[in-house]
Structure 1
Amino acid sequence: MKIIAVIPARYASTRFPAKLMEDLGGKTVILRTYEAAKQSHLFDDVFVVTDSDLIYNEIASNGGKAIMSIKEHESGSDRIAEAVENMDVDIVVNVQGDEPFINTAALEKLIEVYKNDTEEKVDLASLMFEITEEDEINNPNNVKVVTDQNGFALYFSRSVIPYPREKNAGVHYMQHIGIYAFRKQALMDFYSWSMQSLEASEKLEQLRYLEFGKRIKMIETAERSIGIDTREDLEKARRMLSK
């Protein structure tokens, strides 16, 4: 089973433009992410796929593997699918370009799903963690997920799901972490489908997979990912790196 990591890397960012090219301890954020993925030793190969000459040259000039997107893409899945379309791979892991402190243990759990999936019932695997604070549960920027008894996703939403009509029902609220491991075929199927109403409404690409019947295995992790979404996050990352 050939497993690769692909890091989708857009130059433009609504909240923090050009964040992937910001300095983080003497190296750019995207280069640190790429090197961390390589150093995890979990993947047969690692690629950065980007729409930016700057990011492409940053990776290539430092001995890394970068791919330029040919088309404009609305989602990370589309960008990754274009990049791997002609590659001979089985599992593609999406590593976020703005998360240079890779959670190796969590990625190992995702890969383990496929090693144990002898009947190939899993199309995608992804991560979630429990949230308990009311502000976190109600925050539409925190995507919630509900699963069936076997851990397969039933739905993702920016809204509170399930709605707590009965306060003492013992519900656990789970927040989705947007890191995926795809079977290549699931990724290519996604690439061929058009956006449907649920995805368009919530602006969540994972809903396209559910709307077309793909099965997403959710794995619980205790550790939250550390992403760089704001300049404050970058300063926090710099402090962590200097310790």
Structure 2
Amino acid sequence: MRVALFLTCFNDTMFPDTGRAVVTVLERLGHTVDFPQEQTCCGQMHFNTGYRPEAAPLVDRFARTFDGYDAVVTPSASCAGLIRDQHPVLARDHGSPALRRKVAEVVPHVHEFTEFLVDVLGVTDVGARFPHRVTYHPTCHSLRGLRLGDRPHQLLRAVEDIELVDLPAADSCCGFGGTFAVKNAETSSAMLTDKTRGILDSGAEVLCAADNSCLLHIGGGLSRQGSAVRVLHLAEILAQGRGAER
């Protein structure tokens, strides 16, 4: 299977360790992972702020960059959702017939990291060990867009020595929403306060999720409160190996 990592521009800029963690897990499972250097943004920022014609060249670049791979894996539920749901729309409305055909070929091979492990590879135990108390925040895109369901929990429950605890009001939004947190700062802050209260009430040492953008937002709120709770992408937990890799 030819597997490519789509890291996303956000992770590439701010959370490169998440991409390394994805590669660590997939290589541990016996897969070689390519990282096409031509990859850039998927166009989510443009699409979500109304610059849809301007997003079309990014759709074209994505389709050309990841053409021919059996699987394109990304550690971002929001970007995976944008590609699968909106790339065909952007190609239809602002692209050529050739682009529409290429997008139709590439998009079905795009997978969010946890669904690739559970649905495509059929794996829940990836050989991880993480002796900490952890809670999981289902981001809006992972919960309502991709409908990841319990896939992240299946993977976390298989981690050796982990203590997985429930997050109160887990399905509530953290208040990030990209530019929403900037344009509606007061509302966003109120939502974040509710989310951090639930995290602190859970007694977790670590909060994980499938989107670093939400973790950045939540981590900032926890830090400003002086909390010692860490935030980690789920992939970084799964990358913590057993035995000699501890």
Bigger share in strand: 1
Q: Give the TM-score of the pair, scaled to structure 2.
A: 0.30
Q: Which has the higher contact order (CA 8 A, sep 6+)?
A: 1
Bigger share in helix: 2
